[in-house]
Amino acid sequence: MVAPACDPERDELDEVVTTWNSHRIRAKAGHGVIGGHPSLMYTLPEMYSAEDNLKAVDMDELALCKEDCTPKSQYPCDDTVFHLCCLLMQEKGWDAPKDAFSAAELYILLRTEILQNI
């Protein structure tokens, strides 16, 4: 068996999970907060008089959703729209986004610009 590739983000997440699950949540009387170990509270909610709200997922539906969300070409949208956005970014001096927030801001700027010129 081949060892999985090192993924620093996954390693960090695993460390957070381990740290979190090694603690015990304290109950707070009068606040409706029950105490226990997070991993047990999640895995066996009935032990804590809680309701299991996990829902089964139909794997065929999941596959369809993944297919619908997977880009079909090298561009994340219609080729013409992508090239138009690139031209607008160049013309307006807008930089490519570096994080989700700047991507959302850029999207709003591009959408507004395109809608004004339709």
Q: d(Cα 110, Cα 107) in Å, to the nearest integer? A: 5
Between these two residues, 71 and 16, which has the higher pLDDT value? Answer: 16
Mean residue pLDDT of the chain comes to 87
C-beta neighbour count of 89 within 10 angstroms: 16
Residue 2: pLDDT above 70?
no
What residues does each domain of the chain span? Answer: 8-48, 73-116
Q: Give the tens place of pLDDT for each residue, 45-101.
A: 888 888 888 889 999 999 999 888 877 778 778 889 999 999 999 999 999 999 999
Residue 49: the pLDDT is: 83
Residue 18: pLDDT above 60?
yes
| pTM, two decimal places | 0.43
Identify whether the C-beta of residue 65 lies closer than 8 Å to the C-beta of residue 54.
no
Residue 5: pLDDT above 70?
no
Residue 69: the pLDDT is: 84
Q: d(Cα 94, Cα 83) in Å, to the nearest integer? A: 14
